[in-house]
Amino acid sequence: MSPEGGYRSYAAAYRRLRPEHAGKTFVILGTSHYGEGEKWGLTRKAYNTPLGPVETDQAFVEALANRAGSSIEMEDYCHASEHSIEFQAVYLQHVLGQHLPEGERLKAVPILCGGLSESLYSRGRPDDNDEVRRFFEALGETAEERGDELVFVLGIDLAHIGSRYGDASPAEAEKGALAAVRRRDNERLARVAAGDLEGYYALVEPNHDDLRWCGHGPLYTFLASAQGYQGRVLSYEQWNIDPQSVVSFTGMEFREV
C-alpha cells in the first residue's frame, strides 16, 4: 500500500470510525512481504508512531498463539520492516488518538498474513492445508470471545499491473486494459462485500491470480475467520506508481449481520 496512491480510499474508510471506537482493540491484518507464505506473523511489541504508540493487546496475542500453534511465528523483525500495518497504526492514531481518556493508549493485534500462494498453484484452497485451517479457526474463536470489543482493519492494496511487475506492456491508470482490471477488481470486491469466500476465491484462483492482489492473504484470512460480516465499497481508484505500472486500491466498510 502507498499513502500517496490510495489516499482517497484510506480517507473514505477511516471516516467511518467514530470517537467511541477509540476504546476497542483493532485486529490489523496486513500483507506480509517478508514472512512465510502459509503462515501468520505476530508480535508482542507496540507500534510507535509520530503521534504516539499503539499498544499490542497481549491477552489476545497469547490466546491466539496458544490456539494457532505452529501456524504462527513471532516475527518482530518482519513487523519492524513491514509498512502494511505501520501505516494503519499511524492512521488509527491520527483519527482516534485524541479521543482516548488521559493516560490510555490505542490497542491493536498486528497480524502479518502470508500470501497463501501455495494453493493458487495446487488447484486447491488455502484451508486444504491443515496449518492454514488451524489459524483460521484459532483467529475466529479468539475473536468470538471478544465479540464487539474488536474492529478488524485490513492494510492492503489490490492489483499490480504493468512493466514494474513483469508485464510485457506498460500500464496507465484507467486507460486501455486497465478498464478491464477495474471491472475484474470490482467483481472480486462484490464477492468480498457479500462475505462470499468461495465466490471470491473462484475469481482469484484462475491463472494463479494474474491481477497480483497482494491483499489476497489478509482478505482470505478475514473472510475465513471473521464470518458473519457484509460490506460495501466506499472508494476505488487506480494509481500509476511509475509511468508504466499501476496499483489499484479500495476503501470498504464491514458490519456484522
pLDDT category of residue 209 using cuts at 50, 70 and 90: very high
pLDDT at 4 over 80: yes
Q: In the prediction, which pLDDT does 1 show?
A: 58
Query: Distance between CA 3 and CA 10 in Å, rounded?
Result: 8
Buried b (16+ CB within 10 A) or exposed e, 51-71: beebebbeebbebbbebbeeb
- With a pLDDT cut of 70, the percent of the chain lying above it is 99
User: Over the stretch 121-178, which tens digit does the pLDDT of each residue have?
Assistant: 998 999 999 999 999 999 999 999 999 999 999 999 999 999 999 999 999 999 999 9
pTM: 0.96
pLDDT at 245 over 90: yes
Q: Work out the mean pLDDT of the chain and round it to a whole number.
A: 95
